[in-house]
């Protein structure tokens, strides 16, 4: 038995990814759940519009962080500010009562805002926009669409590509009269199509089963999904280039997918995370897709307010997909071996 | 039509994997490359098909659409059926539908795979999978056919069938370069190149290699130096570097020697030379 234990430790020592998972994962989980897993919202941004907006802004409880005051604004201007996600809520100053418009697409923020308004003693007439009943499913479905595309694009794609390496057929493809672009596009196109179809199915099912609204442009949403999908496919291709077999690919994909689930704002609001953790969220493509999906589906936002998210995803395509494809091309090109090659890996 | 490598050198992380290797493969002939594990056989073939860029030397090969390559893993897609594997390769090599149908039907029939055309490659036996790999490599009638250990791990009957297919390809004018660990198989080739530690230690026809080797080989009752002795069937063979046996045994005649005996003698000679060189 001692020999068995010793053998296992020796194997583990050489399996760097497993060691990384054993060491890094508990630390990552500790940090994330310690700092990021925070549903409580300590303050919300608010714009005050309408006559006497200045004086009303000064009377609001400290929970409301007044970022703009516009005495000439009205309900329409306030709603536009919410659609464009400029603020979390808007106070419309009226003749008798003041109306508080809340962005319901940001669930935890909206819940906290409603609670804070109620505690203020009914001075504010609360109206939740975009998600009046504060349905969790309305907010989760757009995030799940992104998560499903991340799963297919990252894990399934990397497994498909690594299988070629593991079975020794990548060698065969490299020798055939196929251009590297033929191989790469041929490999990732089916996953793109499947993930896209999955995305459409989830959107339709989300609307039918949970009544999730689709307030904005389907074309804009489809474009955002395609751009996002190219980024996560790039992650899948990249993982395949650093993995020798499917086990390694899954391990590596875990490191890529888990932070997206926890730090993209899908579960925990980004605004509640300390900056030490939040910046990681801003490096993740799912963060921007969720921004696009919630914006278009629930708020009916247009390109005017969502363009920064599209731009970041486009930059990510260039960096992630471009870099990954370059690495994959290198695998297909003639090269000096990094180690003796008298035997190709044999499929399990 | 002649392909091959001239003065080929490949260094891996500063260590020589191939050193000054020459190989010549002409149309209609079979050249087999033999050697032990890590001798550089696969590296040589991978240079020949363009997968490895050599450190020095020249590679003579046709355009990629004129090369047929079968890697040691057989190069088949396990999740595809036999017919789908063949179909994919035919499309990759841009064979016309008529040509594709004719060639695949003929080759699958000759490889005794016609009845298995709907089976997944992953479900085939090792021998059948290797034959499928061969069919895929030869489907487009390449000028140069490169086979990396096509018969390793294949049962004797399938080996015979594979060899029939290989010789048929050569008879049709294809230049065939292959590696093998089976020395009896290598003998069937027109020319043999013996690699040891990345160097060519012998090259030529099996007859030439049988008649010219260093030292002499005897068949003693008991070996005088076990480090230089090996079994062949029920008898013992012993190699004597200086040509004479210490116990006065008569060296075996060429007719009594196998190709395997001479290769073992050459490898022992390489070991002896290496140990002499490393001695201060």
Work out the average pLDDT over A303-312: 96
Is the pLDDT at A338 greater than 60? The verdict is: no
Cβ-defined contact of A335 to B73 (cutoff 8 Å): no
A224-265 pLDDT, tens digit per residue, is 999 999 999 999 999 999 888 888 899 888 888 888 888 888
In chain A, residues with a C-beta closer than 8 Å to the C-beta of B92 are: 176-178
CB neighbour class for A10 (10 Å; exposed up to 12, middle 13-18, buried from 19)? exposed
Residue B63 pLDDT level (bands cut at 50, 70, 90): very high
Beta bridge partners of B232: B235
pLDDT of residue A342: 47
Among A27-41, A207-221, A307-321, B58-72, whose mean pLDDT is lowest? A27-41
Confidence of residue B279 (pLDDT cuts 50, 70, 90): low
What is the predicted pLDDT for the residue at B260?
83
- Residue that is written with structure tokens 């979390």 in the block: A88
Q: Is the pLDDT of residue A217 over 90?
A: yes
Choice between B79 and B279, residue whose per-residue pLDDT is larger: B79
- The pLDDT > 70 percentage for chain A reads 96
Q: Which chain B residues contact residue A165 at CB under 8 A?
A: none
Which residues 185-244 of chain A have a CB within 8 Å of chain B? none
Can you tell me the mean pLDDT for B73-97?
94
Q: What are the strands of the beta sheet with B235-240, ordered from one edge?
A: B216-218, B235-240, B229-232
- Specify the range with the lowest mean pLDDT, choosing from A207-211, A220-224, B49-53, B257-261: B257-261
Mean pLDDT of chain B: 90
CA distance A270 to A108: 11
Positions of E strands within B163-256: 175-180, 191-196, 199-204, 216-218, 229-232, 235-240
A348 in contact with B at a CB cutoff of 8 Å? no
Phi/psi at B2 (nearest 5 deg)?
Answer: -135, 130
How confident is the model at residue A311, as a pLDDT? 97
A38-90 pLDDT tens trace:
777 888 999 999 888 888 888 888 899 999 999 888 899 999 999 999 999 99
Nearest CA in chain B to A182: B92
Nearest-CA distance B53 → chain A (Å) = 5
Residues of A in contact with B18 (CB under 8 A): none
Count CB-CB contacts under 10 A for residue B199.
Answer: 16
Mean pLDDT within B8-30: 92
Q: List phi, psi (to 5°) of A333.
A: -85, 155
In this predicted structure, the answer to whether residue A344 has a pLDDT above a threshold of 50 is: no
Q: How far apart are CA B21 and CA B55, in angstroms?
A: 12
Q: How confident is the model at residue A346 (pLDDT cuts 50, 70, 90)?
A: very low
Token pair listed for A226: 């395609």
The whole-number average pLDDT for the span B209-218 is 85
Residue corresponding to tokens 């994962």: A25
Residue B238, CA distances (Å) to B194, B226, B249 in order = 20, 8, 10
The Cα B37–Cα A140 span in angstroms is 56
Contact A344 B78 (CB under 8 A): no
Of A175, A344, A346, the CB nearest to B64: A175
| Residues B193-207, mean pLDDT to the nearest whole number | 90
Instruction: Decide: helix, strand or coil at residue A53.
Output: helix
- Residue spans per domain, chain A: 44-129, 136-335
Q: Return residues 307-346 of A near B (CB < 8 Å).
A: 334-346
Contact B230, B237 (CB under 8 A): yes
SS3 A208: helix
pLDDT score at B160: 87
Q: Is the pLDDT of residue A347 over 60?
A: no
Q: Which residue has the higher pLDDT, B275 or B76?
A: B76
Q: Name A66's bridge partners.
A: A46
CA B194/CA A91 separation, integer angstroms: 87
Average confidence (pLDDT) over B252-269: 84
Interface contact flag, B12 A175, Cβ < 8 Å: no
The lowest-confidence range among A17-31, A320-334, B162-176 is A17-31
The pLDDT assigned to A277 comes to: 82
């Amino acid at each position: 038995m001692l020999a068995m234990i010793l053998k296992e430790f020796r194997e583990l020592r050489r399996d760097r990814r497993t060691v990384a998972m054993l060491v890094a994962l508990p630390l990552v989980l500790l940090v994330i759940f310690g700092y990021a897993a925070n549903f409580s919202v300590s303050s919300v941004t608010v714009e005050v519009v309408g006559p006497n907006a200045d004086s009303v802004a000064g009377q609001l409880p400290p929970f409301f962080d007044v970022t703009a005051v516009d005495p000439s604004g009205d309900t329409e201007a306030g709603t536009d500010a919410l659609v464009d996600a400029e603020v979390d809520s808007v106070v419309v100053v009226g003749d008798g009562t003041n109306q508080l418009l809340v962005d319901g697409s940001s669930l935890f923020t909206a819940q906290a805002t409603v609670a804070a308004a109620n505690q203020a003693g009914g001075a504010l007439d609360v109206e939740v926009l975009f998600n009046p009943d504060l349905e969790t499913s309305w907010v989760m479905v757009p995030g799940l669409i992104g998560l499903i595309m991340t799963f297919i694009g990252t894990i399934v794609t990397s497994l498909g590509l690594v299988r070629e390496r593991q079975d020794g057929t990548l060698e065969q493809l490299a020798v055939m009269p196929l251009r590297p672009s033929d191989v790469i596009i041929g490999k990732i196109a089916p996953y793109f199509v499947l993930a896209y179809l999955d995305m459409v199915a989830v959107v339709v099912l989300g609307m039918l089963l949970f009544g999730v609204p689709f307030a904005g442009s389907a074309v804009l949403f489809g474009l955002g999904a395609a751009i996002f999908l190219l980024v996560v496919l790039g992650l899948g291709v990249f993982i395949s280039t650093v993995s020798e077999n499917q086990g390694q690919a899954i391990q590596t994909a875990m490191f890529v997918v888990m932070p997206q689930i926890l730090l993209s704002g899908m579960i925990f609001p980004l605004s509640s995370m300390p900056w030490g953790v939040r910046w990681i969220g801003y490096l993740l493509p799912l963060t921007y897709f969720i921004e696009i999906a919630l914006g278009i589906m629930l708020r009916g936002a247009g390109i005017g307010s969502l363009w920064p998210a599209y731009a970041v995803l486009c930059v990510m395509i260039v960096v992630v997909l471009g870099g990954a494809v370059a690495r994959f091309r290198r695998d297909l090109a003639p090269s000096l071996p990094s180690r003796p090659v008298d035997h190709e890996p044999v499929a399990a | 039509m002649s392909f091959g490598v001239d003065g080929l050198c490949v260094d891996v992380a500063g260590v020589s994997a191939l050193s000054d290797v020459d190989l010549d493969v002409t149309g209609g002939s079979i050249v087999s490359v033999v050697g032990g594990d890590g001798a550089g056989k696969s590296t040589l073939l991978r240079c020949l098909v363009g997968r490895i860029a050599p450190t020095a030397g020249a590679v003579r090969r046709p355009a990629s659409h004129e090369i047929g390559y079968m890697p040691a893993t057989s190069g088949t897609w396990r999740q595809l059926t036999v017919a789908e594997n063949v179909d994919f390769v035919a499309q990759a090599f841009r064979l016309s539908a008529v040509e594709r149908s004719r060639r695949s039907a003929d080759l699958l029939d000759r490889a005794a795979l016609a009845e298995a055309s709907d089976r997944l490659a992953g479900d085939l036996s090792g021998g059948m999978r290797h034959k499928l790999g061969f069919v895929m490599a030869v489907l487009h009638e390449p000028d140069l056919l490169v086979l990396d250990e096509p018969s390793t791990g294949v049962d004797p009957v399938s080996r015979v069938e594979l060899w029939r297919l290989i010789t048929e390809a050569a008879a049709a004018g294809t230049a065939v370069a292959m590696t093998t660990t089976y020395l009896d198989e290598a003998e069937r080739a027109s020319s043999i190149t013996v690699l040891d530690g990345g160097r060519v230690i012998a090259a030529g026809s099996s007859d030439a290699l049988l008649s010219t080797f260093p030292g002499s080989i005897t068949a003693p009752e008991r070996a005088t130096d076990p480090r230089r002795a090996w079994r062949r069937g029920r008898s013992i063979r012993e190699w004597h570097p200086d040509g004479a046996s210490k116990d006065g045994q008569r060296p075996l005649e060429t007719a009594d020697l196998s190709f395997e005996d001479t290769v073992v003698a050459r490898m022992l000679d390489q070991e002896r030379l290496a140990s002499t060189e490393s001695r201060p």
